[in-house]
A = this chain, B = another copy of it.
């Protein structure tokens, strides 16, 4: 994987970006922020992230609507400036680890009025009364995520990661072509996420780690946790494309975010078709027909301002 990077297999410097280093967190992905760290391609960064509520929900008697203040939700660490990155390049971010941090119970999930997959929302606007607020705080330890009598598997991933758009400052609640709040469980340790650079230095942001999450993040809130994230960041020159891509040992994936949901699927599959054509020797319609037989789709979120889907194909079908 990722042998095209500037750094190649050279291991670079290791940097830390603690909560104290960070100072103010960001709530948009944009070029108007001051970089918190400058690194070289190949360097590793260990970043402390807050949970999506900035740690404000501390007990099950807290009310999310009282403890949070829109639009100051989903705080992001960074941005990290990557030297040499230019528009048209690709940032290759190898996710090394996502570790729970902070006091127990470390996991927070909740019901927020007019937010979630099975309720009327700000966009799917209804006159129905909202559901009640409800908070659940759970212990996350080496056994897993303790949910009442159940132990759910600890399957951590990064809910929100991406680079700066060229001129927009996009809310950290939203996923789009720049990455952002994709809430896609495949963005997990072991994977490399490829992000299309739009500005000098790329400006990498990260936050919103989840200890576990179901497909679609049904309630709009996964098992939110503060985390320590370890990333090795490389740069691939002159590899431009429209939407985030991802690679693991077994598969390659393209990620689309849109409403309605079918457009997220269309974007993801078109990007995958194009990737197969550009880098794996397929004629475009052959790729399309093969994906009809073996393509796979993962629903990231069905709750954010855009819905996110990943389309993938196993590497064993890519030949070579």
Contact = CB atoms under 8 A, between A and B. Distances in A.
Interface string A111-149: 100001111101111111111101010000000010101
A218 interface: yes
Interface in A263-313: 263, 265-267, 269-271, 273, 284-285, 288-297, 299, 302, 307, 311
Interface string A248-273: 00000000101111110111011101
A57 to B, nearest CB: 14
B214 A293 contact: yes
Q: What 3 A-B pairs come out closest when comparing CB atoms?
A: A260-B260, A214-B295, A128-B128
A168 B171 contact: yes
Contacts of A285: 111, 127, 131-132, 134
Given A152-B293, A213-B293, A260-B260, A127 B288 contact: yes
Given A126-B128, A128-B130, A289 B168 contact: no
A319 interface: yes
Contacts of A307: 262
Contacts of A28: 167-169
A292 B217 contact: yes
Interface stretch (A78-86, A219-227, A230-238): A219-227
A305 to B, nearest CB: 9
A217 B169 CA distance: 27
Nearest to A149: B319
16 contacts: A109-B292, A109-B293, A117-B265, A118-B273, A119-B120, A120-B120, A120-B126, A123-B266, A126-B270, A128-B128, A128-B129, A216-B265, A216-B297, A260-B262, A262-B307, A265-B302
A262 B122 CA distance: 13
A265 B214 CA distance: 13
Contacts of A267: 122-123, 125
A218 B118 contact: no
A233 B217 CA distance: 35
Interface residues of A, number: 83
A222 B124 CA distance: 22
B258 A216 contact: no
Nearest to A256: B125
A5 B297 CA distance: 34
Contacts of A120: 119-120, 126, 128
A163 to B, nearest CB: 15
